[in-house]
Structure 1
């Protein structure tokens, strides 16, 4: 009696290969989870900054004196009570607004701390197209010394420009440069500056239509998918598919070996039958 060759299905449904398939499914599931995690990482890193920067929060809740500005605090609207230092109102040249170059009027506000002496915070007050009008406002503000509740956008300190370095103009809102000009500075300063949401009451009274509030836009965040994470996700998917291919290849090899064994057995049986027939004829 000659045995027939098994089909691929016959081999694949044997308990041994079903067990191997279950193991491959488990491994593929792990690879799929890793691929999903990489995709989620790519999407998460590619999402725009969703934090609310336009609702003012207390300054002390996001920033501290003598510390750098954090990502969380950068560009955020903050509220604080500041006392203007009359002698430290000044101007900054080369400030752009509405495609025009003008001058900022800036000041120094002392912000009370929960414990200890107040800390200095540079504040940008208003923008002027005409530098002379900005200087006139500075002269007027220097006669005032007021404490006010202010709302402003917190910005990182700027690096000095070539004009600052040469000493012929002052252009950068650089905390490091400003502290060298301040009167009776106590050593406590924020590592950032603030742009007023609108000119302070003292400045508004003196603007008389000549100056403008400084335009401060919410921070922009580059939202791009992380290509490296996407590549890793594709790799994990490829590993997942390879796990199933490996099972298929193992079953197919076993199937082919069994077919070869059956064919060899049939060939041997045919040869034996032929040998027996030859003996009978003799």
Structure 2
């Protein structure tokens, strides 16, 4: 009578394979954590800009002189007080607004600080479709004397445009280029510029006939998921499932080896019995 073959369950519940199961579960748990981390990164990188950028905050609370604009400060409405530098108003060509190219009127404000040392801040005041109208305003502009209160959207400095280099014109709002044109510059400047809101531009006399407020939209970020991170997360899930499948295959292979050993033993015993019977008949 042949011995009963071991079942998958009887093999799987042996201490050895229970230990292997615990190890595979631990490995699968690590893979699950890595997959969760990848998903969190994908969602975080795809999250929109939920900052309150439209409520003006003091410029000094979000920006420092001679520092690059941080992601927290970029695109925010800021308030500041300072005095105009009458000699540093200028025009920038090729500025696009509503799919039309025109001219910006720009200037420099010496922003007041608690230590009494003012910091230069480039500002953009208004946009003109007609360049001649912009030149006429530039010639007649009489900014207010003394300190003025202004509000604008803080923007990162721009790199010089091809036209700036090729034609010697001014197109980019480049802080580095502007400081080379300013008079009585004290080496203190913000590494960004502000686009004045309509009220500030109007109070500065920059919205005469032919001038329009510069359209400055709140910053918008790409809200698409990072699909590369999603793909990595799927890979970690596949590895997690493979850890469970590996345990199953190890147990199944162990059972099959035992069954084969039993069958071989039974076959050998049968062959030995047959050989003994043949010998006795002789």
Instruction: Say yes or no: TM over 0.5.
Output: yes
State the shift of 1:155 in Å: 1.0
The reply to whether residue 95 of structure 1 matches residue 95 of structure 2 is yes
Between the aligned partners of 1:237 and 1:244, the Cα distance in structure 2 is 11
8 Å CA contact retained: 2:143, 2:205: no
Look up the SS of the partner of 2:34 in the other structure: helix
Q: Show the counterpart of 1:75.
A: 75
- 1:1-282 matches, within 5 Å, as 1-142=1-142, 144-166=144-166, 168-200=168-200, 203=203, 205=205, 207-282=207-282
SS at match of 2:198: coil
**Aligned partners of 1:144 and 1:12: how far apart in 2?**
88
- 5+ residue gaps, structure 2: none
Asked if structure 1 preserves the Cα contact closer than 8 Å seen for 2:143 and 2:204, the reply is no
Tell me, in whole angstroms, the C-alpha distance in 1 between the residues paired with 2:178 and 2:103.
16
Q: Which moved more, 1:263-272 or 1:74-83?
A: 263-272
Q: CA deviation at 1:178?
A: 1.7
Paired residues in the alignment total: 282
| Aligned mates of 1:54, 1:132 — CA distance in 2 | 33
Matched-pair contact (CA < 8 Å) for 2:126–2:211:
yes
Secondary structure of residue in 2 paired with 1:50: coil
Task: Label 1:273 to 1:109 Cα distance change in 2 as closer, same or farther (>3 A).
Answer: same
8 Å Cα contact 2:207/2:213 also seen in 1:
no
For residues 150-175 of structure 1, what are the alpha-carbon distances to aligned partners after superposition, in whole Å with 9 as ceiling and x for unaligned? Answer: 11011111222343335653222121
| Residue 32 of structure 1, CA deviation | 1.0
How far apart are the structure 2 equivalents of 1:98 and 1:208?
Answer: 19
Tell me, in whole angstroms, the C-alpha distance in 2 between the residues paired with 1:233 and 1:18.
Answer: 28
Change (3 A) 1:168 1:274: closer
TM-score by length of 2: 0.90
Unaligned runs of 5+ in 1: none
Secondary structure of the 1:234 match is helix
- CA gap 1:238/1:247 in 2 versus in 1, 3 angstroms: same
Aligned-residue CA RMSD (Å): 2.2
Structure 1 residues 42 and 143: alpha-carbon distance in aligned structure 2, compared to 1, 3 A threshold: closer
SS in 1 for 2:123: strand
Please say if residues 141 and 203 of structure 1, whose CA atoms lie closer than 8 Å, have aligned partners that are also in contact.
no
Structure 2 CA distance for partners of 1:93 and 1:222, relative to 1, 3 Å = same
1:96 and 1:56 map into 2 onto residues whose CA distance is 25
Q: Distance in 2 between matches of 1:15 and 1:37?
A: 33
1:195 deviates by 0.2
